[in-house]
Structure 1
């Protein structure tokens, strides 16, 4: 048994501040986290805990200690196409993304990108993520093997795509099912990995493949379903043309058994109240991806509408349409999107969405996303003096709310001083 303690200023959410009342946000200006074999054994005020753990090694951490960030939607094969100029969604896929994804048939290439991708997540304070791979089985194997080596909590799956894509990026219903089942069998229960059945979106799967994806989700009760929904008006029109009797885009997924409490839909920009209410009743979740929605000109997600219908939401960087691996930067853009929608994103709510909210979106809210006993010890240290401007702004802040908001708006990878995974240092900014 390995026990280690960490001392510093601690901030976590234990519930959604929108609904959880005063106990939703916990702040210990002089706090202590005790980690036993990668899991938090105790957390609280240092003065209350120090005597209980006399003799346990203690590491002093400067800055603000918060839970590790959870990225609820990101494409690791698109890492090298981040900041690719021009086009909206469908043309952008054809011009930039599909050519890049063909290369992931090569395991060596996939290994190299997966290693860089996961290290970049850690550098930005992201310790858990729901990740798109490609249609190639090897792309998932490369990501999972790299995650095992880093002990990260990564959920991913082979993309299912039997139409609407170029040569080298299409599978078949039978082949997609066989590869998915093989991956589930090989990686289920290993390390901190999870699997997601992953149809890319309606336009790239036949009816037969969508039905088979629904059958896999029903068969394997421990997998997620991860896809895209209502991102771009051209995409929505094409889906409506293919399914003219469907009430809306969400209804198409529902027809194939793909809307449930393990479903994570990225974007959901153009959903009406009826669709949001349907998602809320089903227990489905949304990945809010502000930087990609702005970059591709897709639209402004309505977080308040999702909240009104009780739909779970977390933050997604959506690299490579997303423009940064930084959840802090993504939260800053989320604030602006909410402002354009006539709402205001409180910094404590933003922290929740980036941590416990994201964990709940992935069905992992009892394991990650909070600094509390029994949770996996994924946390990071934010430096409020990481840049001259942030240091000046933070020094003038009079409240924790103001300090946290400054980090939300001005922070990025530079503000992440250290990242810990299961209680072990995984990234140090100045190392």
Structure 2
């Protein structure tokens, strides 16, 4: 290992005081009951690798590959260990895992292919094809994700809404998968932001590099970061937003001097200028780990949803659903086990819709609902907010 990288990892690991407060909030420790599958255990493994005290074997690296990167441990760490940084640095030194599904991940980042699956109506015939694939299977999981459909998402039209103010110019980052799967949420974000006075420019569809960074492919992640920087510099905007919180951490790494956020903080700051039509419906709200622990916008989102009259919002317990970027494709059986409590909690409140901001979480949950035969639709919270926005409102 390069000496400077090894020393940096060792220094990050040495900040851990081994108190164990991270154990109760770690979803993989709860799943396995294995110290190696806890933040404390992974920190010890990273330190041993960095100091040359352990060989790089499949058995040693497996707990690192299993980590979801949810960062719940960072939220409770009294020593303020930068676990996310330590994890990424260690994975970067180890490089991509030999079993990493490179073909599947490459296909997942092709917006044109995703559009094709919608055109051919994959959701209508994937069940027959899935029967030919083993369970659990990465390809079967990928097929279920590609066939997952959300509720009908109407593109909001706010042409009649007055623009009484002009606030900071915002650039919207579409992403790769999200540029197709979250197209309606992106239209909703633009409509809502412009309704409160933020001019919005949409950047080209690019991959932020998060999947590569989390998989240890530092060179590919660096190339993605350069493309992000070029697009941002050409935008002339003051704030970069994405409707996919899973991209935020990587975008902040690429643009350390820029304000990078999801739209909720900007909208919540101008909430008095937003009026919504009543919606007598009960919805379950899933808050993705990246929204809770990276964007930290869960309260802002709940405050916005709370402004929709007669809407009953049932927040689900804060736990990782198991999607975690590429984790649901790399370890489909573990991802399904991690998803089960969230689906059970959602079923207990009998919602008429399930909301989640992160595209990977939403597709993962939708696929789980479909397996159960549930018809509960899933959608992005921004779509619901834009659909209920009272047009012609006066700011």
Q: Which has the higher strand share?
A: 1
> Would the TM-score normalized by the shorter structure come out above 0.5?
no
Q: Which has the higher helix share?
A: 2
**TM-score (ref. length: structure 1):** 0.27
